[in-house]
Structure formats: C-alpha cells, structure tokens
C-alpha cells in the first residue's frame, strides 16, 4: 500500500477553525486525521504540504516509521505547528492501518480497555459568550441564566462540566487577557474583585448542579503563579474536580498544587513524552491533559503509558470536531488510567453533519467507537461547504482592547 495523495481541509467552526488531513492510498483506503489549531491553521496546513515529498509513495500502515520520517524532517522546529501537522498525519495513518485490518483503533492498540468513557460538558457558558445566536441558545444576561445553564447540564444527563471565568450581562464577558485577549493584553494580576467574581461564578454553578456534579475551572495562561494560587484557595470550598492551569514551568505548577486542596490539572499544550516527563517526575499536578490532535495518536498513547508509570490519570483535551471526539475516545479505550474526557456540547449547527457518525452519549458517558478505524470519517461535502475565512478567533464578539480585559469584573 502506498500514499497517493494528501489533502488539507480548514473548516469554519464558528468562532475558531477546525483542521483536517485526508490521506489517500493506491488500495482505495482513505485515512482521516484532525489537527485543529485555532491560532495558526494555515501554518499547520502549510507544514503538511511541506511534508508531502517525504510521504507520497510510502506505506501509511508503517505509522511508527512514518512518524520518525516526519520528525526528522521537522526536528529543527520541535513542538508547536510542526508537531500538530505530524499529529494529523499520524492519526490518518493509524486510521488507514486499522481500516486495512477491518478493526477499530482501540483493537489495534490492544483494547478496548472500556466500553464507555465519562465525558464533561466543556466551555459551559464560555461558548455562549458572543456566540449564542450562532449556537441557537439563550444569551447569558443574568446570574439566573448561569443557574439555568447549570440545571440544563444536569437535565441532559451530564455529571461534570468545565467553564472559564465568564460573566453575564447585556454584553456577556470572558476574562482571557493572557491567552485569548487582544492587542496589548497580557497575563493578569488577580484582584479581590476578580476573586469575588470567581467565587460567585463557581458558587452559582455549584448551587445549580448540586454537590455530586463535578466542576472544572479553566484559567488557561491568564495568570502568574501567585494569582493561580489565590484562585485555587478560593475554590477549595467547592470541591472542584480540578482547576486547570497552563504554564510552561513544572516547578510553578507544583508550587500551586502544594498550596491548596483544590486539585490541579495541566498539560494540554505539552508535546510528547519529553515535555511531560519533568511534570511527571515532580508530580506537578493531580491530573494531566493530552491533546491528541496536537500530539498524534501514537505519541499520545506513549504519554498516557508514561503517566501510568508515575501513577497519574490523564484526560484528553478535546476542543474540536466529532472526529477528534472519536479519536480521543479511542485513546480512552486504549489506556487504563483515564479520568474523564472533554467534549463541547454548544457548537455550530453543522457539527453533527461534518462527520459520518456522531458520538453516542448516554447519561454523561460516550460509547467507545467500535470501528473500523476511528468509527467516523469527515463528510467532504459538508467540509467544503464551510471553508474557514479566517475572520474570527475567540469567544466574545466585542473588541478585546486592554481596557476591556477586566470584562466588567470588579478591579478592587
């Protein structure tokens, strides 16, 4: 079997793009991978184009060899855009290998270890900030709307949710200066007003969902160590599943973890075992995220196995299309140490149409894909009907100027 063609798709996902790669073979088997990057989709697609001479004419079923061929070709650009390009291709090769054998990817990797995986409603409320009309849901105008959203989570059978620092209002707001902010924004200094807002936000969700539903708060790259530490301490009263922090410094993450009883999660922006190892060695967090569309399936499996050595649970980062959900669920079915899996419920109307199958979610659990391959392909007609124009990235429709980065939150 030989690779005959590789094609990129950058698809409009409303307020961010989704990226896919299609790999065709001379035996008529096609593989699909996802490598979505909300900030640099063209950079990832360009790297895939650059890798075509390395890959055309080779056997995609030899996915381990193909990975190292690609790695050597991009080793002067470790991580980031190059790694995401490799990830999409790696996933497509593994899809082809499993399809050629008539089995699912979990079967290919010795599974399944489970028949279903618990999922949490991610970006709960966040996606509705500035995008509620596109999604077709009510706006978050008042704190009662936050309460009603929490009740909706429970009514729809979910046992866990994740949100960001958001606030209701005539123009709902999302606090994101260090990660999703506009020009001139930077990591934020936490104020007493922001701490009170976080307490009210999570307290409102906790009252709405009750004591048994897990809550996660994701603060991304928005704060330095001292601010994260103070937020974590405020959250102790709510028995969080985790506080999620992005920080390229394992010692700082460990400092936060040691300062609080709030459980800490990190890792979604790390690549390969070499990035994760220092965090694992220091037991820097309680749980670790793995982004499969950014690491590729073969490398994500290795990271998960390494986490097991250090007695850490992992949770796939899955802020993408249903193809990523099938890929991430396949990872969950190939590892023993899975905590829970992310999935976005509020999304663009064409999300379900974009894949040939959609996830089966019953009582907050997703059924593990049974194959062949990922158990779903991209519907090319739908993908081509929704090309990314590169005009929107982020949650809020308002201007993210530095003066607005407090988003109406008290600055006391």
The domain ranges of the chain are: 3-103, 108-393
Helix or strand run (H / E) with residue 68: helix 63-74
**Residues whose CB falls within 8 Å of the CB of residue 144, separated by 6 or more in sequence, listed in order:** none
Is the dihedral angle over the CA atoms 149, 146, 150, 319 positive or is it negative?
A: positive
Residue 175: per-residue pLDDT: 87
Do the domains at 3-103 and 108-393 have one common CATH topology? no
Residue-level pLDDT at 401: 29
**What tokens does 209 get?**
């969902």
Sequence-separated (6 or more) residues with CB below 8 Å from residue 204:
143, 146, 147, 150
Which residue in the block uniquely carries the two structure tokens 């037991």? Answer: 283
> What are the 10-residue block averages of pLDDT along the chain, 412 residues in total?
98 97 98 96 98 98 98 96 98 99 98 96 97 97 98 98 97 83 75 96 98 98 96 98 98 98 98 98 98 98 98 98 98 98 98 98 97 97 96 47 40 42
| Cβ-contact 16, 393 below 8 angstroms | yes
pLDDT of residue 392: 60
Q: Rounded to an integer, what distance in angstroms lies between the CA atom of residue 60 and that of residue 62?
A: 5
Q: What is the DSSP letter of 223?
A: B
In three-state secondary structure terms, 402 is helix
Contact between residue 253 and residue 265 where contact means Cβ atoms under 8 Å apart: no
**225 in helix, strand or coil?**
helix
**DSSP of 303-333:** HHHHHHHTT-EEEE---S-HHHHHHHHHHHT
Q: Which CATH architecture has domain 108-393?
A: Alpha-Beta Barrel (3.20)
For residue 118, the cross-strand partners are 365
- CB-CB contact of 96 with 61 (8 Å): yes
- Looking at the DSSP bridge assignments, the partners of residue 34 are 20
> How far apart are alpha carbons 369 and 381 in whole angstroms?
23
DSSP 8-state code for residue 403: G
What's the CA gap between 254 and 351, in Å, rounded? 38
Where are the extended beta strands (E) located within 35-179?
Answer: 116-122, 160-163, 166-167, 173-174
Question: What's the longest Cα–Cα distance across the chain?
Answer: 65
At the topology level, CATH places domain 3-103 in Enolase-like; domain 1 (3.30.390)
pLDDT given at position 399: 31
């Amino acid at each position: 079997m030989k690779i005959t063609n590789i094609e990129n798709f950058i698809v409009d996902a409303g307020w961010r793009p989704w990226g896919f790669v299609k790999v065709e073979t001379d035996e008529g088997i096609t593989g699909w991978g996802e490598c979505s990057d909300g900030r640099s989709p063209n950079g990832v697609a360009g790297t895939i184009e650059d890798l075509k001479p390395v890959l055309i004419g080779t056997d995609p079923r030899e996915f381990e060899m193909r990975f190292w061929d690609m790695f050597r070709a991009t080793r002067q650009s470790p991580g980031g855009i190059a790694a995401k390009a490799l990830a999409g291709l790696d996933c497509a090769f593994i899809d082809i290998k499993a399809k050629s054998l008539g089995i699912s990817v979990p079967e290919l990797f010795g599974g399944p270890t489970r028949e279903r995986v618990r999922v949490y409603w991610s970006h709960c409320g966040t996606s509705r900030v500035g995008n509620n009309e596109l999604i077709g849901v009510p706006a978050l105008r008042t704190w009662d709307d936050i309460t009603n959203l929490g009740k909706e989570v429970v009514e729809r059978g979910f046992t866990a949710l994740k949100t960001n620092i958001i606030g209701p209002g005539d123009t709902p707001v999302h606090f994101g200066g260090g990660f999703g902010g506009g020009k001139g924004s930077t990591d934020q200094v936490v104020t007493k007003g922001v701490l009170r807002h976080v307490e009210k936000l999570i307290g409102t969700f906790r009252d709405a969902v009750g004591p048994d539903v897990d809550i996660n708060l994701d603060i991304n790259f928005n704060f330095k160590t001292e601010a994260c530490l103070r937020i974590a301490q405020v959250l102790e009263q709510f028995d969080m599943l985790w506080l999620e922090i992005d920080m390229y410094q394992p010692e700082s993450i460990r400092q936060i973890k040691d300062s609080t009883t709030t459980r800490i999660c990190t890792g979604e922006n790390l690549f390969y075992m070499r990035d994760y190892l220092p965090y694992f060695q220091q037991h820097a967090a309680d749980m670790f995220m793995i982004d499969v569309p950014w690491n590729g399936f073969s490398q994500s499996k290795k990271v998960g196995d390494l986490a097991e050595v250090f007695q850490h649970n992992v949770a796939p980062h899955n802020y993408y299309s249903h193809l990523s959900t099938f890929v991430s669920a396949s990872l969950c079915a190939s590892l023993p140490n899975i905590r829970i899996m992310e999935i976005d419920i509020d999304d663009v109307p064409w999300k379900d149409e974009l894949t040939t199958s959609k996830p089966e979610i019953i009582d907050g659990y997703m059924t593990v894909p049974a194959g062949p391959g990922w158990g779903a392909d991209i519907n090319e007609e739908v993908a081509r009907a929704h090309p990314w124009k590169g005009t929107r990235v982020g949650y809020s429709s308002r201007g993210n100027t530095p003066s607005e980065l407090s988003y109406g939150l008290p600055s006391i």
